[in-house]
Amino acid sequence: MTQRRDWAPLLQAAPLALVLLLFFVFPLVATAVVSLWNYTEYSLVPDVTSRNYAEMFEGCGNLSDGLCTTFRTYISTLRLCGLVWLCTLVLGFTVSYFLAFHVRSDTVRMALFLVCTAPFLTSNVIRMISWLPLLGREGLVNQALVGSGVVDAPQDWLLFSDFSVVLAFVHLYTLFVVVPVFNSMMRIDRRLLEAAQDAGASGWQTLWHVVVPLTKPGLVIGSIFVIVLVMGDFVTIGVMGGQQIASIGKIIQVQMSYLQFPAAAAQAVVLLGLVLLVIAAMTKLIDIRREL
């Protein structure tokens, strides 16, 4: 290596830095700034006001009249998020565990792993639409339920409900848990499991005291993905909830369509703050860069 300053890495990293600056950093700055602006029906008014935040939390101090819209929306989104998180974590862990510890041939393991991850490369909307012929009033599930006499009449809660939203989320996002958890599990030294067995640990004890702690990084990364994807969602909740269920992302989208940019920006800032808090708490647990 020469002693003179080497510019090559800087130049090689420059395009990435430029794209992120133009389409990520500046937009976030613009959002933060505009969230403090005023607006009229047709234009933005650049002055500093707390109006957007004040309107967002209007009536939230007074709990006697019930919760304000903003709090209600946050709580309902958080509830969905919690449900989806729980389901994807348990399912993702189980699937990865099977792949990592029960499949013996490497080729079969990789093939099955690809089977689990390939849907990530196909369209989310189509994967949502594909639930419609199954869950609708005339759908396959209802036909089967009524036909077998389990229920008397077609069930309405199957589609355009919290149930269908959670189902679609689990369907779409479990692989965001499978990939990092599988990655963590494949790095576990198999001798540790044998050592635990030799020391007299039962299957469950080995799982809980050896596998789970060593899989923590993968679980954390998967959790971050799922939480962020659900918290900011408006597409899945929109399509699977029949445009009836409120979410934070939906509020932002609606405000954008009414050209209330500063109000939407304020919502986005609060959402971002919340998500960053969650991520900060989680990354305290691990170092992402060592996981690659």
**Residue list 192-211, contact with other proteins (CB under 8 A):** 194, 203
**Residue list 64-123, contact with other proteins (CB under 8 A):** 91, 94-95, 97-99, 102, 112, 115-116, 118-119, 121-123
Angle at 221 between CA 210 and CA 163, to 5 degrees: 100
Which range in 72-80, 148-156, 208-216, 241-249 contacts other proteins by CB under 8 A? Answer: 241-249
Residue among 65 and 287 whose Cβ is closer to other proteins: 287
Q: Are 147 and 118 in contact (CB under 8 A)?
A: no
H helical segments located in the chain? 8-20, 26-34, 51-56, 69-97, 106-117, 124-129, 132-135, 140-147, 162-186, 190-198, 203-206, 212-231, 235-240, 248-257, 261-283
Rounded least distance, CB 66 to other proteins, Å: 27
**Residue list 2-31, contact with other proteins (CB under 8 A):** 6, 8-13, 15-17, 19-20, 22-28, 30-31
| Binding of residue 285 to other proteins (CB under 8 A) | no
For residue 105, give every residue at least 6 positions away whose Cβ sits within 8 Å of its Cβ, in sequence order, or none.
none
Residue among 74 and 261 whose Cβ is closer to other proteins: 261
Tell me which of 57, 201, 225, 254 binds other proteins, using CB under 8 A. Answer: 225
Q: What DSSP string describes 149-164?
A: TS-SS--STTSSSHHH
**Residue list 137-156, contact with other proteins (CB under 8 A):** 138-140, 143
